[in-house]
Amino acid sequence: MASTRLPNKPLADLGGKPMVVRVAERAALSGATQVVVATDHADILAACRQHGVAAQLTRADHPSGTDRIAEVAAALKLPPEAVVVNVQGDEPLIDPALIAATARCIAADVPMATAAHPIAEVAEVFNPNVVKVVLDKAGRALYFSRATIPWHRDGFANSREVLPSAYAPLRHIGLYAYSNAFLQNYPRLEVSPLEQIEALEQLRVLWHGYPIAVHVTDSAPAAGVDTPEDLDRVRQHFND
């Protein structure tokens, strides 16, 4: 609600419904057995209930969205094996299939999953606002960074204006799935120096030795809403 670029963003009207309600409706199309909006603001709670969307009020002092959904999962008394997916409330065009595919990555030995897609523009490779991820042969994350990883030594020695041949860096998509057992443990994990340096919360998980599976999708998902221009673009979608 306190977004500086777009105040009251979760309640922005999209074709007659608040944005957060549109996100919940997309999440429901993923096949999830339950969709709950986790919020620390009474206005969001009221808007969700007005539109028949389950919502739960949380503490306001959570340091991250992961901590917030852990509180809700505990309140719902979900079993340890339940898979919980964290969908950001400003993604009204998120693909339900992407949510489902990320959730399916959770396994007995993989307590957390996320998603990524190939980067096609060289400017994004060098943009620190674009988070990159490198995978091992099993499709699990080796590292996330705002830096250009992997660094193509020979290709970038020749030019940084085009992507080297056969070079396919991956952009991280901010969608997370967890086993509930791991989700409940996450808030107790010590903050890692890596996440503080990169300002990337998921590095705490790797630092503590837990694997993160990464579902790679062919194309970039529809962009979320961060600015008034983004809001105009998304409104056009719902008005068409």
Helix, strand or coil, per DSSP, at residue 194: helix
Helix, strand or coil, per DSSP, at residue 153: helix
* Nearest of 112, 82, 104 to residue 180 by alpha carbon: 82
Which amino acid makes up residue 90?
Answer: D
pLDDT at 64: 87
Element (H, E) at 86: strand 83-86
Decide if 109 contacts 211 (C-beta within 8 A). yes
Give CA–CA dist 69/82, Å, rounded. Answer: 13
Decide if 96 contacts 27 (C-beta within 8 A). yes
CA angle 178, 184, 190 (to 5 degrees): 100
Q: For residue 4, give every residue at least 6 positions away whose Cβ sits within 8 Å of its Cβ, in sequence order, or none.
A: none
Decide if 26 contacts 34 (C-beta within 8 A). no
Give CA–CA dist 113/220, Å, rounded. Answer: 17
pLDDT at 82: 98
| Pairing verdict, β 112-118 and 170-179 | antiparallel
pLDDT of the chain, 240 residues: tens digit per residue: 878 888 899 999 999 999 999 999 999 999 999 999 999 999 999 999 999 999 999 999 998 889 999 999 999 999 999 999 999 999 999 999 999 999 999 999 999 999 999 999 999 999 999 999 999 999 999 999 999 999 999 999 999 999 999 999 999 999 999 999 999 999 999 999 999 999 999 999 999 999 999 999 998 898 889 899 999 999 999 987
pLDDT at 193: 96
Task: Parse the chain into domains and list their residue ranges.
Answer: 1-81, 95-221
* Nearest of 221, 240, 229 to residue 88 by alpha carbon: 221
Give CA–CA dist 230/151, Å, rounded. Answer: 31
Q: How far is CA 124 from the centre of its chain?
A: 18
pLDDT at 191: 93
What are 230's two structure tokens? 């983004």
pLDDT at 3: 80
Q: Is the peptide bond before 150 cis (omega within 30 degrees of 0)?
A: yes
Q: What is the pTM of this model?
A: 0.93
CATH number for the region 95-221 comes to 3.90.550.10
